[in-house]
Structure 1
Amino acid sequence: MRLQNGESTRFWSANWTPFGDLTTFLSGTNSRMGIPRNAMVSTLYSNGVWCLPPATSEARIQLYTHLTTLHLTANQNYYEWKIEGRVHNTYKTCTVYDYLRESKPDVQWHGAVWFSKAILRHTFHTSLVIQNFLPIRDRLISWDLQVDDRCLLCNAQPESRDQNYFSYAFSNDLWQTVTRRLQLQPSTTWQDTIDRMISLPSPLPHRLLILLAWQATLYWL
C-alpha cells in the first residue's frame, strides 16, 4: 500500500508501513494505544501532525520514527508491488510466481511442450509424461505399492513410460498412422521421439501441426 490520504487504509491491519501488520508488530505492547481496531490512518493525522499516544516501547519508537517521514496528501491511496527491488504498479501473477517458486534452469524440451497455440491440457500432460510423473505401473512399484507390473493394455510386458510411448504394439500402430499423415518418419523409442520433437525444423506451420498431433496422441493414449 502506497499511502496518500490514508482514508481507506486501516491503521492496524493494512500493509502501509515497512513493519507490515501493526497488530502483529506491536503485539508485545499488549495494548491498542486507545486506537480503535477499525481506525483509518487518516483519523490519526491532522494539520500535518500525527495524533498518537507517547511511545512506550521500542517497537512504537521504530513506528513513530518512520511516521515522521510520512505526510498525508489529498491524493487517493494506491497499491504497488516491490519484488527484488523493482517496483510494479500492476499485479502480475507470472512475476509473483517466478519470485516465489524455486528457480531452475530451462530444460531442453520446453520448446516442444510449451508454445503458442498449444492445447493447455495436452501440454500439461506432455510435461508429466516427459518427466515420468504419470502413475504408471513401474513408478507405482518404485513407491513400494503392491501392484502387478504388467501393462493393462497388453497384459504381457512390464508397464513403463517408454513401453507405452511407443514401443507397445497398439501405441506404435497409432503413432505410425499419425506420422504417416504428417509425412514424418516415426520412431519406436521414447528418447528418439523426444529428440525428434525438440529438433523439428521449420516451416513453422508444419512443426506446429506435428507437435499438436504428438501431444494429442500422448494425451489420448
Structure 2
Amino acid sequence: MDTNAWSDRWNDFSPLRGFITPRIIARPSFDLDSNVAELVEFGTWRWPVAWYDLFPVLINIPIPIIDPNKRDALVWRVFGKDYTAFSAAIAWDSIRVSQPEVNWAKTVWFNQCIPRHAFHMWQVLRRKLKTQDRMKEWDATSLTNLNLMCCSLCSRGPDSHDHLFFDCIFSKQVWNQMRPMFVMDHVDSS
C-alpha cells in the first residue's frame, strides 16, 4: 500500500518516472506521491486512455491484485528468475563473483577477527598492498620516482611485497624471532 507508483521499482517496466515526466503525471490530477493502489480502480488502471498511445509500455503492465490487509514487501529478483524476500545476504550472493574458497580463507576470516586486520591480511596474501613498486606502475608521471623511493624500515631500496616481508633487514630480524615461537624453525625465511 505504500509503494510509490512513479518512483519505486514495482514491475518490470518501472520506475515509471523513467519515461513519464512529472508534468505529464500532474495533468490528470495524479500526485507524485501516489501509491500503486491509488492507480487501480475496480480492477483497471486509472491512467488516461491517451497515455496508452504516448507510452505503449503501459499496455504490458499487469494490474496488481491489491489486498488492503497486507503491507507491501521488499523483494529481490535473483538472476532474472523468481522474486524472493529481500535480505542483504541474498543481494550479496546475487551481485558478487563467486569463486572457490582459497586454502588460507579461514586463517584470515573467522568469527572473532578484527575486520581491518583481516582485510589487511587478505591484501598481503593476495599481494595487493600499496607498495612503492605497485604505486609506480599506477602513475608513471608522478614524483614517485623509483630511484627516490626507499623502504621505511631499512632505507635500502624501494619497498615491494618481497622486500617488506622477506628481504628487508628489519623483517628478517622479526621472522628470525617469530619462527621459534610458532615452531617454524624448519621454514625458510623467504
TM-score by length of 1: 0.66
Match of 1:22 among 12, 16, 31: 16
CA deviations over 1:101-125 (Å, ceiling 9, x no partner):
4555554543443334333222211
Within 5 Å, which residues of 2 pair with 1:1-221?
7-27=1-21, 31-32=24-25, 34=28, 35-58=30-53, 60-68=55-63, 70-74=64-68, 75-84=70-79, 85-92=81-88, 94-102=89-97, 106-107=101-102, 109-143=104-138, 144=140, 145-147=144-146, 148-185=148-185, 186-189=187-190
Total equivalences in the alignment: 180
Larger helix proportion, structure 1 or 2?
A: 1
> Secondary structure at the residue paired with 1:10?
coil
CA deviations over 1:78-116 (Å, ceiling 9, x no partner):
111111124331321x43234334555554543443334
* CA-based RMSD: 2.9
| 8 A Cα contact 1:11 1:40, kept in partner | yes
The residue type paired with residue 95 of structure 1 is: I
| 8 A Cα contact 1:19 1:25, kept in partner | no
> Secondary structure at the residue paired with 1:31?
helix
More moved, 14-23 vs 180-189 = 180-189
Alpha-carbon deviation of 1:20? Answer: 1.4
TM-score by length of 2: 0.75
Q: Per chain length, whose mean CA-contact separation is higher, i.e. which structure has more relative contact order (CA < 8 Å, sep 6+)?
A: 1
CA deviations over 1:177-196 (Å, ceiling 9, x no partner):
2232222234311xxxxxxx
| 8 A Cα contact 1:80 1:88, kept in partner | yes
Which structure 2 residue ranges, 5 or more long, are not aligned? none
How far apart, CA to CA, are the structure 1 residues paired with 2:57 and 2:13? 9
| 8 A Cα contact 1:12 1:37, kept in partner | yes
The residue type paired with residue 155 of structure 1 is: S
The residue type paired with residue 25 of structure 1 is: F
How far apart, CA to CA, are the structure 2 residues paired with 1:58 and 1:188? 75
Distance change (3 Å), C-alpha of 1:65 and 1:86? closer
Which structure 1 residue ranges, 5 or more long, are not aligned? 1-6, 190-221
